[in-house]
């Protein structure tokens, strides 16, 4: 422990060579093990040497924490620990860290740093955690939706991790989708800044057809979402929300937006349902279809005006 805290690489090497046990708890206060002290320092070689000989279940015992939590701002060290198999979640509840209201998971804390300290490059830490399987929890979505640049990075990484084409894994798990919808409901008033990125990445727009979102979404974002779905299937409760917004003049649907969409639109919705929004939006599936080239953009919903788009209207309907 003393050699590690002193960042003395030769001393650490000598002690390990003479069979010093790195799994012995050295003190009652932090850091309890040498690897925690190494993670708190800046010498990646010391961390690499200790990671190779420290038990992997660290963090699962009472009061223990994974050393991963000490390197969430140090991408090179984070990569070492994750490659060696140390947990990115074990013992999180035991870790005493500066409490941030918006972040309560390791990935959430990295995203918090990305949003609030953009001058430093935290994106590599985000990528490493996501590749290691860190889930996108509600705090992750809340933070990402607040910053379009962070959201773009997060979605690009998830799309890369999940792959493209027919063998691609779904963009989100069921729990991640539930967390996203919850965060989207809270941030519905800012939907114009993040809704297009989500849908272009393969999110099923039907997931956001919930009263809380429809009640608060800006007029332009609401129109954009409705143009992406089959409006004829909206339930009575959702129609009531839309009719109330029209009555209160908080949403004015464009003239081309009808309750029963035209056949062309229904056909592309059917194609999206058959392929899945992930495959349709994140793969070259459309160019492989036996349809005219001029229809490719239409099948990808590229004709629909996104919030902030300077085009005067949507020709989709």
Q: How many domains does the chain have?
A: 3
Same domain, 87 and 103: no
In a domain, 202, yes or no: no
Same domain, 77 and 125: no
Q: Domain span at residue 234? A: 217-317
Lowest average pLDDT, out of 2-11, 67-76, 102-111, goes to: 2-11
| pLDDT digits 0-9 by tens, 86-106 | 888 776 666 665 555 577 889
Structure tokens at 62: 């009472």
Please give the DSSP secondary-structure letter assigned to residue 205. Answer: G
In a domain, 195, yes or no: no
The reported pLDDT for the residue numbered 316 is: 47
Same domain, 240 and 283: yes
Tell me which range, 82-96, 206-220, 300-314, is most confidently predicted by mean pLDDT. 206-220
In a domain, 235, yes or no: yes
- Which position has the token pair 């939706």? 145
Contact indicator for 63, 90 with CB cutoff of 8 Å: no
Phi, psi angles (nearest 5°) of residue 74: -130, 90
Same domain, 46 and 69: yes
pTM of the model: 0.86
Name which of 66, 67, 167, 74 is nearest 128 in CA terms.
74
Same domain, 76 and 20: yes
Same domain, 80 and 106: no
| pLDDT digits 0-9 by tens, 153-187 | 999 999 999 887 667 788 899 999 999 999 999 99
In a domain, 208, yes or no: no
The reported pLDDT for the residue numbered 317 is: 45
Same domain, 84 and 114: no
pLDDT category of residue 57 using cuts at 50, 70 and 90: confident
Lowest average pLDDT, out of 20-34, 46-60, 205-219, goes to: 20-34
* Start-to-end Cα distance in the chain: 69
Report the C-alpha gap between 153 and 157 in whole angstroms: 6
Q: What is the percentage of the chain residues whose pLDDT exceeds 90?
A: 52
The reported pLDDT for the residue numbered 312 is: 46
In a domain, 194, yes or no: no
């Amino acid at each position: 422990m003393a050699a590690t805290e002193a960042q003395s690489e030769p001393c650490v090497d000598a002690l390990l060579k003479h069979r010093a046990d790195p799994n012995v708890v050295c003190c009652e206060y932090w850091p309890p093990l040498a690897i925690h002290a190494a993670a708190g320092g800046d010498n990646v070689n010391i961390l690499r040497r200790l990671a190779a000989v420290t038990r992997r279940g660290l963090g699962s015992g009472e009061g223990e924490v994974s050393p991963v939590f000490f390197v969430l701002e140090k991408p090179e060290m984070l990569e070492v620990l994750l490659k060696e198999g140390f947990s990115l979640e074990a013992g999180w509840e035991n870790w005493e860290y500066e409490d941030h209201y918006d972040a309560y998971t390791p990935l959430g804390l990295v995203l918090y740093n990305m949003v609030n300290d953009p001058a430093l490059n935290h994106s590599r830490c985000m990528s490493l955690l996501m590749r290691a399987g860190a889930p996108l929890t509600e705090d992750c979505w809340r933070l990402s939706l607040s910053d379009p640049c962070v959201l773009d990075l997060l979605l690009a990484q998830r799309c890369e991790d999940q792959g493209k084409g027919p063998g691609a894994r779904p963009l989100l798990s069921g729990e991640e989708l539930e967390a996203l919808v919850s965060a989207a409901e809270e941030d519905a008033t800012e939907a114009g800044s993040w809704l297009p990125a989500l849908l272009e990445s393969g999110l099923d727009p039907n997931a956001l057809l919930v009263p809380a979102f429809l009640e608060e979404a800006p007029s332009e974002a609401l129109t954009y979402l409705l143009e992406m779905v089959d409006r004829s299937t909206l339930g009575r409760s959702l129609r009531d929300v839309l009719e109330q917004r029209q009555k209160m003049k908080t949403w004015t649907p464009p003239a081309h937006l009808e309750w029963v969409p035209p056949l062309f639109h229904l056909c592309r919705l059917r194609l999206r349902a058959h392929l899945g929004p992930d495959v349709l939006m994140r793969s070259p599936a459309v160019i492989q279809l036996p349809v005219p080239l001029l229809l490719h953009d239409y099948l990808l919903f590229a004709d629909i005006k996104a919030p902030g788009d300077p085009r005067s209207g949507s020709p989709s309907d």
